[in-house]
Amino acid sequence: LSAALSSALIGQDAPRGTDGNAYQRELASNGPFQFFAAFRNNELDYPQFYTTLADPEVARLLRSEISEPNARFIGSDPQDIRRVIDNPGQPKRLNVVLVTIESLSAKYLGSFGDTRGLTPNLDQLRKQSLSFSNFYATGTRTDRGLEAISLSMPPTPGRSIVKRVGRESGFGSLGQQFRAQGYDSVFLYGGRGYFDNMNAFFGGNGYRIVDQSSVAEADMVFQNAWGMSDEDIYTQTLKVADADHAAGKPFFLQLMTTSNHRPYTYPDGRVDIPSGDGREGAVKYTDYAIGQFLAQARDKPWFKQTVFIFVADHTAGSAGKEDLPVANYHIPLFIYAPAHIQPREFSDVASQIDLAPTLLGLLNMDYVSTFFGRNVLRNDRAPGRALLGNYQHLGLFDGSSLAILSPRKNMRRHDDALGLSHEVVVDATDALQRRNIAYYQGASHAFQKHLIAWQPTLLPDEQLSKR
């Protein structure tokens, strides 16, 4: 009964009302009823619930954060981050396979210190890849990871853009960028894409869809409640890649796996931990399937012309004593292309929102960007940072301290955030907090004003990288 009553109240704006003076109404608007009504409707109005800066200051800070050498801002709105990115050199028309792995915390990998031997394939792959040792997820759910990777967006308050039904399409996604370059952009999901609104999001942002419903029962070796096994989705990936290669078309294949998730079940006989025994077995099977996939891919005629990316959507657990426990957002990122990318370790702090611009930079592609991330391999002047959040709390981590914005315009900073994490109350004069505000206020403004919309006519002048 109480839940039904709450839902009824939340569904109305009764506490806001029309009686009384404007000050009283505004207090009600910033109160719990309006907060939960907004939450139920998938998004929170940033200026209403969070601290703001003057628009010119947000524009200045944000452009400073995301600027790259030879980037040219072209938006008329001072907060419009749309810019032409001129990546030097001849473009590399390589295929791309981007594997987003369900719930793979960095802490489970042997190369990050785990001693259980769960990830021999990934540990070997790290040695052969451009690997990122201080890479952080933006959120705690799959849709947040997909939003960050595909749109290069900070985790704005409320639900991710992926799940904002009716407002989830028409953006300048990574898939749109590749599609504009003549690629076949495909989203492959081990489950059914109506879950988390994935099909609507990816289908509306430049991708074609291959999910569990696209695959015949006879072509799947194993299924559970979440979908087909990882080896099944890799089999489908190889089929799509073979078909595109045969047609002479470059491909961008973005995968989302499912096996590393409760109930932790997978085909028998693959690893030495019985199916359904827990997270350890699922991690070991996830690693096994990746090893098998790469072994099969190496025999393909398109392998030497393909970049493989392995990254997690989020970690296996984000709960902690603090609102945003930074260590619980730490994920792996490996970029593997033995014929094109030299193995090395990138140790600066970086964010999931940096993956798209960094990848396009590695391919020397020129493009018009609406990304809030940056090519971290080219922007040495900017300090490392990671954006992370959890529906309400919005954070920026600089490798040492974490600035947090919370509803009701609360602000805090955690110093030594990966250690003892001393919390101090700060105001909008705090330098780290100002950077934090600029990202989230700017992202909210960009979403509301359609400044991140895909505009295919705004391509780089004369394709600069072809010079």
pLDDT digits 0-9 by tens, 318-341: 666 789 999 999 999 999 999 999
What's the CA gap between 148 and 44, in Å, rounded? 18
Structure tokens at 186: 């495909």
- Each residue of 111-146: pLDDT tens digit? 999 999 999 999 999 999 999 999 999 999 999 999
Q: How far apart are CA 354 and CA 149, in angstroms?
A: 8
DSSP 328-345: GGEEEEEEE-TTT---EE
Does pLDDT of 22 surpass 50?
no
Residue 85 has pLDDT above 60, yes or no: yes
Residue 457's pLDDT is what? 82
Q: Is the per-residue pLDDT at 203 higher than 60?
A: yes
Give the DSSP per-residue string, 335-371: EE-TTT---EEE-S-EEGGGHHHHHHHHTT--EEE--
Residue 6: pLDDT above 90?
no
pLDDT at residue 380 tops 80: no
Give the pLDDT score at 382.
Answer: 77
Question: What per-residue confidence (pLDDT) applies to 44?
Answer: 81
Contact 414, 407 (CB under 8 A): no
Lowest mean pLDDT among 18-27, 290-299, 409-418, 429-438: 18-27
Q: Which of 252, 339, 240, 344 is nearest to 298 (CA)?
A: 339
Query: What is the token pair recorded at 89?
Result: 């050199």
pLDDT category at 32 given cuts 50, 70, 90 is low
pLDDT given at position 283: 98
Q: In the structure, what pLDDT confidence band is assigned to residue 430 with cuts at 50, 70 and 90?
A: very high
CATH superfamily to which 95-319 belongs: Alkaline Phosphatase, subunit A (3.40.720.10)
Residue 290, helix vs strand vs coil: helix
Residue 282 near residue 266 (C-beta atoms within 8 A): yes
- Model confidence over 47-79: pLDDT tens digits? 999 999 999 999 999 999 999 888 999 988 999
Domain-wise residue ranges, the chain: 2-41, 95-319
Residue 317: predicted pLDDT: 81
pLDDT at 28 over 90: no
Torsion angles phi and psi, residue 30, rounded to 5: -100, 15
Average pLDDT, the chain: 90
Q: How confident is the model at residue 452 (pLDDT cuts 50, 70, 90)?
A: very high
Residue type, 429: T
pLDDT per residue over 241-297, tens digit each?
Answer: 999 999 999 999 999 999 999 999 999 999 999 999 999 999 999 999 999 999 999
In whole angstroms, how far apart are CA 122 and each of 252, 271, 308? 22, 15, 12
Q: For position 379, what pLDDT does the model report?
A: 65
